[in-house]
Amino acid sequence: MKKKLLVLFFVFSVIELSAQFPDSLTRVEGDTIWFDARSLTIEGKGWVDTDSTFDRLPLKAKEIIPERVWRLSKNSAGITVSFSTNSKNIFVKWKNNNNTYALPNMPAISVSGIDLYYRASDNSWKYAGTGRPSPTFSSIAVFSAADEYPDKTDYLLYLPLYNGIAKMEIGILKGNEITPANVFDNNLKPIVFYGTSITQGGSASRPGLVHTALIQRQLNAKIVNLGFSGSGKMEIEMAQLISEIDASVYVLDCLWNMTDDLVKERTEHFIRFLRERKPDTPILLVEDSKYNYSSPSERGKILIGIFDKLQKEQMKEIYFLGAQNLLGKDWEGTIDGVHPNDLGFMRHTEEFLRIIKEILKIN
């Protein structure tokens, strides 16, 4: 049943955060019933034993990975909250966990804000609206749905790309219902993306427009986003961690963060480790994208050489995605010559979907 969504945004700060975010999972405030997001469905995590609910790496990783990677793992890129409700108004209240409100090449909405999507009658995901973050790091967004039908609708909430969530609540009007919702195809194992600031979402205009999110909605698939800005460097400890995820595909897109020497030293070892741990899981290697692509970079040539070597050895389920079309041919696909803008991420999505569908034999 089709919904027409009217979205209103309200952002405010509060002084008493303890009063705003009590410990109970459910509470009533006037005409609104608030539910802690932890009581709903949280997707996009490769592990459950994280330091905080919306972290991306397990607690044990803190002792074995670089400090910067650990810090970035507390950014909630790719993590979603899904639920089903018949409420005509949906309220989302959240507190970011650090003071990174915006970045020089990214707006506050994508860094610290939220995106809401709803399931349309044709089973596709439609944009419902965006929650703008407050500079004081405690924010609220109100989404109003003009809907003559009482049936429950599925919703998908994308969390900040370059900030984290300390606390989040979802509110509905009294007299309505909200339940956790499993909105993705459970027959398809998660697609795991490991990479750089581009994988993490730089520089999408909002959380729902990074290529991993676009691919997720196109395939109705679970996605684990392990993009770490400036820090996707293929440490063998990351291979150990990633191999713990039972994935449908491992996507390795790290070249922008690696020197030629690092590509030589780490890439083949990383791939062989994954293959030993997961002998049947496809591994997709991605060339570094360039807005003015004409030929592979030096590190791209090294990666192509590694791929060719592994193919000659008849390593199974190893794939390569060239960068020729990742950003298009018109030089308009980036915000700064490196990081995709929304157009660039749409083009990324087209290329990734083409090869992922081929790998997974999806029509």
Q: In this predicted structure, what is the pLDDT of residue 6? A: 44
Residues 6+ apart with CB under 8 A from 358: none
Residues 6+ apart with CB under 8 A from 345: 204, 209, 210, 211, 214
Q: In this predicted structure, what is the pLDDT of residue 23? A: 56
Q: In this predicted structure, what is the pLDDT of residue 2? A: 43
- Please tell me whether residues 214 and 332 are part of one structural domain: yes
Nearest to 54 by CA among 68, 66, 36, 67: 36
User: CA geometry: angle at 21 spanning 163 and 169, to 5°?
Assistant: 65
69 occurs within a structural domain: no
Q: Which DSSP letter does residue 159 get?
A: P
**Residue where a domain stops, chosen among 131, 147, 180:** 180
50 occurs within a structural domain: no
- Please tell me whether residues 237 and 352 are part of one structural domain: yes
Which residues does the chain have with pLDDT short of 70? 1-24, 146-150
The pair of structure tokens assigned to 279 is 């002998």
Cβ-count burial of 240 within 10 angstroms (0-12 exposed, 13-18 middle, 19+ buried)? middle
Strands (E), the chain: 4-8, 26-29, 32-36, 41-43, 80-85, 89-96, 114-119, 125-131, 138-146, 153-158, 165-173, 178-180, 191-195, 223-227, 249-253, 283-286, 318-321
Q: Strand, coil or helix: what is 224?
A: strand
- Please tell me whether residues 158 and 228 are part of one structural domain: no
What range does the domain containing 129 cover? 4-44+79-180
40 occurs within a structural domain: yes
Task: Specify the number of domains making up the chain.
Answer: 2
Q: In this predicted structure, what is the pLDDT of residue 136? A: 82
- Please tell me whether residues 138 and 247 are part of one structural domain: no
Express each pLDDT in 182-236 by its tens digit.
Answer: 999 889 999 999 999 999 999 999 999 999 999 999 999 999 999 999 999 999 9
Segment (H or E) for 102: none
- Please tell me whether residues 196 and 170 are part of one structural domain: no
| Calpha distance 237→259 (Å, rounded) | 18
Q: Provide the CATH number for the domain around residue 280.
A: 3.40.50.1110
Q: In this predicted structure, what is the pLDDT of residue 147? A: 57
Question: pTM for the whole thing?
Answer: 0.93
- Please tell me whether residues 170 and 201 are part of one structural domain: no
- Please tell me whether residues 203 and 149 are part of one structural domain: no
The pair of structure tokens assigned to 120 is 């349309």
